[in-house]
Structure 1
């Protein structure tokens, strides 16, 4: 009985490990990208159980044990960069110059969550320069209006479809735009944020729809939005930040492709996973809320903030603009096949680089 049970779980693990390698965009395929940490733990438990309970005089035992070991190594390879065992990708800030510092608090509030006071308390405690809220409707907009005394620069797009978005900023916002790049009811926001030193930072706030049976049956819409923004920032030399709930995990091929095409850095590399979803289920969590930035910045602080009633934990990231110190920071590099794959994904939804508002850049 023990043998049959271990074999069944091992072959399921093998399926769950191999299926994401298929670059099919169907939600049930891409869904296997998410729980790699859980699959790694499952592989370790199976490996230990097989060593203890199975008879290695049988050839079949070696097969299932090798499968479990291979799955553990495979998933571990995806997870490793998001642990302290891996070198950091973004340097720690060498100074804390407030004139060149920007702190961003990103919070997917969950539209049905009514604990707005919990979010306001977090804002009052951490005093971010920029607050980005996702899934905010008109009710949430009304409740957060008290912030506008201190956060005098705003972008507002209240929606009842779980894709409303608001930005509240102490720092000046210039050349702002709200766009619907891929789907007619899923907005993104684009602006220049002016640091206290006068440095202008191009920012993109995103919340593409996830691949799921209740949202989009495939990941293609999400992928196209992420990659067209990546393409639009790839040839820029100005400081850039892209943040939001990307509805994709940090270790997926799509997120890696975004990093390759954009050239942006991930401050979590070498520091931790910072799993933000699902806030209510400790055993099923993964990193969905992201912030990527150009090499102009170094990291002052990164933290997952406490639960306030949403299905997401908020994220707080503070960066310091220090171009000389950050100049030699390097992320992932795209090759020809990566560019071809990205172009295919964008062409599927007829979206191109020129469609993305590029704050501070004059259109010809």
Structure 2
């Protein structure tokens, strides 16, 4: 094999990793900037390969090689800082639930599944739900076909919210626990719903549940991440201002280490149970190397974690994920959980982003309306 070709390939890979890392710092919402926030694990892996390759070919480097090696090293340090919190090497943001005798623990099992509207393997999800028996089931990208298929589980789920849509943003909520005054809202875009409801736990405590599925920044959907970011921050702000005990669940079309999701945590005060544990990469189910976490649960500090698990494929491009939480309000009084707090800059940026999101949402809603067929 031509070693010179291999050497130059390593150089090009090192330069690419450095460029992609720096590219992500550009303060724009355009999809071609924000998309580099997603594959940080993959960037890290390729960056390590390039870094080791440069060491293997170490010789009498010129100034350019030294500078490239230094920039690559700094890029890897940054990428590592972004993904390291989602490993066991980091301090847990949410404590592990204490062992409690069966029947005494106030636990809540929540399953999220983006089913992919064209996916016809509906029975796989039904079988999985019947086997795992979640207390709350959040279904995304569901249409009339999926609603009909899920009639099988309704005897076990007396409380439902159904928003069947064929635009990839349908949403269905099934609950064994009482849903109190559930409301379907369209926060940013007229045809992209979210569900807001109070939820009565087994111990009688009432909390808030928010189910979201904002539009992602991509060349085929939203040119910018503005409406996605604004929707998440709007809900986070609402939770904080109303001092709510809350759980937010859904396909956020964002990764946990993005600047928006981290700001959402600081604004809302909600915790991420994955921090200090492990990645729960749910998308893309068909491509093992191209996977990251799009399906999330964030919750108030009065919950601890029993278990988080990615579930088997149901034929969608997303894996389902189920999180089991335990209600332990004493954790809050002991300040044992690592609750994030907002700074003045977070509040200022949140207000600005929400206003931008509303304007962008009006624009996108108008575009979507114009694309609808005229049935008149």
TM-score w.r.t. the length of structure 2 is 0.91
CA contact (8 A) 2:14 2:68 kept: yes
1:101-148 Cα deviation digits (max 9, x unpaired):
111000000011111111111111111001110000000000001111
- 3-state SS of paired residue (2:338): coil
Measured in 2, the distance between the counterparts of 1:141 and 1:39 equals 39
Q: 2:345 aligns with which of 328, 331, 337?
A: 337
Residue segments in structure 1 that go unaligned for 5+ positions in a row: 352-364
Residue in structure 2 matched with residue 211 of structure 1 by the alignment: 217
Give the Å deviation of 1:99.
6.1
Residue in structure 1 matched with residue 69 of structure 2 by the alignment: 65
Residues 8-87 of structure 1 aligned to structure 2 (within 5 Å): 8-87=12-91
Residue in structure 1 matched with residue 93 of structure 2 by the alignment: 89
Measured in 1, the distance between the counterparts of 2:278 and 2:124 equals 25
CA contact (8 A) 1:263 1:333 kept: yes
Measured in 2, the distance between the counterparts of 1:116 and 1:248 equals 26
Measured in 2, the distance between the counterparts of 1:44 and 1:273 equals 19
Which shows bigger deviation, 167-176 or 341-350?
A: 341-350
1:30-87 Cα deviation digits (max 9, x unpaired):
0000011111111100011011024244322222222222221110100000000001
Residues 151-170 of structure 1 aligned to structure 2 (within 5 Å): 151-170=157-176
CA contact (8 A) 1:261 1:333 kept: yes
Residues 239-318 of structure 1 aligned to structure 2 (within 5 Å): 239-318=245-324
Measured in 1, the distance between the counterparts of 2:127 and 2:274 equals 25
Measured in 2, the distance between the counterparts of 1:350 and 1:8 equals 41
1:262-285 Cα deviation digits (max 9, x unpaired):
110000000011000001100000
Measured in 1, the distance between the counterparts of 2:170 and 2:115 equals 10
Measured in 2, the distance between the counterparts of 1:282 and 1:214 equals 22
Measured in 2, the distance between the counterparts of 1:236 and 1:301 equals 29
Which shows bigger deviation, 132-141 or 68-77?
A: 68-77
Residue in structure 2 matched with residue 358 of structure 1 by the alignment: none
Residue in structure 2 matched with residue 227 of structure 1 by the alignment: 233
Measured in 1, the distance between the counterparts of 2:104 and 2:209 equals 19
TM-score w.r.t. the length of structure 1 is 0.94
1:214-255 Cα deviation digits (max 9, x unpaired):
100000010110000000001344421000000001111111
Measured in 2, the distance between the counterparts of 1:224 and 1:185 equals 16
Measured in 2, the distance between the counterparts of 1:268 and 1:49 equals 32
Alignment length (residue pairs)? 351
CA RMSD of aligned residues (A): 1.4
